[in-house]
């Protein structure tokens, strides 16, 4: 594989499993060193670190943090600089996802969903901005097609991802010309964890809404991220939907 990112350093939030792990693997294969953030997925993070360091020694480090603790967010950037002496790419991937039906919304659920999906990306981007400007780096935010096509019973999540979409465009204006900021909006890639997503009939109904009549893979998101990071020097303020054509049917 072409190691386009050799010498670059990437910070990936929520990088221990699912889509985050796929992003870490692909950008690492491209030559990047990785600061892998996780919150509770300690075992998965250690296993991925071991896997990737076996391919290239001392190229992956771990940092554990709760992104709801705003005071800790600048420390993710400081720790990355302390370990690798630079930061070129920030991937805001970590996300909380759970339903909040009208009438049942609490401040706790609001703080969780807004905190992980919008507040943390904003303050991490702010903390990383000076170094990213210095390196002419980039930010990629993992959004969701439902930022523009709301799901019933997921009002707060939708608001958070809608805010992240707007934040992506705002940061592109704020941080240009030195820093590019883009987003990737996944459709159905992996089924969410939870009973409501386990019904096969409901799953098939969602699949039938896609033009390609199938769900995607985490690598589909990772490849879109790789494009924005590695091969899109004149692209900023844009969001790529990776959804098998589902958004054109919604």
Residues 95, 116: Cα–Cα separation, whole Å: 5
Q: What are the pLDDT tens digits along the chain (250 aa)?
A: 677 999 999 999 999 999 999 999 999 999 999 999 999 999 999 999 999 999 999 999 999 999 999 999 999 999 999 999 999 999 999 999 999 999 999 999 999 999 999 999 999 999 999 999 999 999 999 999 999 999 999 999 999 999 999 999 999 999 999 999 999 999 988 777 665 656 778 788 888 888 889 989 999 999 999 999 999 999 999 999 999 998 887 6
Residue with tokens 């909040």: 100
Residues 224, 3: Cα–Cα separation, whole Å: 16
pTM: 0.95
Residues identified as active-site: 157
Cβ atoms of 163 and 125 closer than 8 Å = no
Helices (H), 176-213: 200-208
Cβ atoms of 18 and 190 closer than 8 Å = yes
Residues 146, 206: Cα–Cα separation, whole Å: 13
Domain 9-243 adopts which CATH fold? Rossmann fold (3.40.50)
Residue with tokens 């991220």: 225
């Amino acid at each position: 594989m072409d190691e386009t990112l050799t010498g670059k350093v990437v910070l990936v939030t929520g990088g221990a499993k699912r889509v985050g792990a796929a992003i870490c693997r692909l950008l690492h294969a491209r030559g990047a060193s990785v600061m892998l953030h996780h919150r509770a997925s300690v075992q998965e993070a250690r296993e991925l670190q071991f896997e990737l360091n076996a391919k290239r020694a001392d190229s992956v480090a771990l940092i554990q943090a709760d992104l709801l603790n705003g005071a800790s967010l600048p420390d993710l950037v400081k720790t990355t600089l302390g370990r690798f002496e630079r930061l070129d790419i920030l991937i805001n991937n970590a996300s909380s996802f759970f339903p909040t039906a009208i009438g049942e919304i609490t401040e706790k659920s609001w703080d969780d969903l807004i905190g992980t999906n919008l507040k943390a990306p904003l303050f991490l981007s702010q903390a990383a901005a000076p170094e990213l400007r210095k390196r002419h780096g980039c930010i990629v935010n993992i959004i969701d097609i439902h930022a523009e096509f709301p799901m019933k019973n997921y009002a707060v999540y939708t608001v958070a991802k809608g805010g992240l979409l707007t934040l992506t465009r705002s940061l592109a204006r704020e941080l240009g010309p030195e820093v590019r900021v883009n987003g990737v909006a996944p459709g159905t890639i992996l089924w969410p964890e939870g009973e409501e997503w386990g019904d096969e009939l409901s799953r098939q109904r969602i699949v039938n809404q896609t033009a390609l009549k199938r769900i995607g893979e985490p690598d589909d998101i990772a490849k879109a991220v790789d494009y924005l990071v590695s091969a899109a020097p004149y692209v900023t303020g844009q969001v790529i939907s990776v959804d098998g054509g589902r958004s054109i049917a919604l």
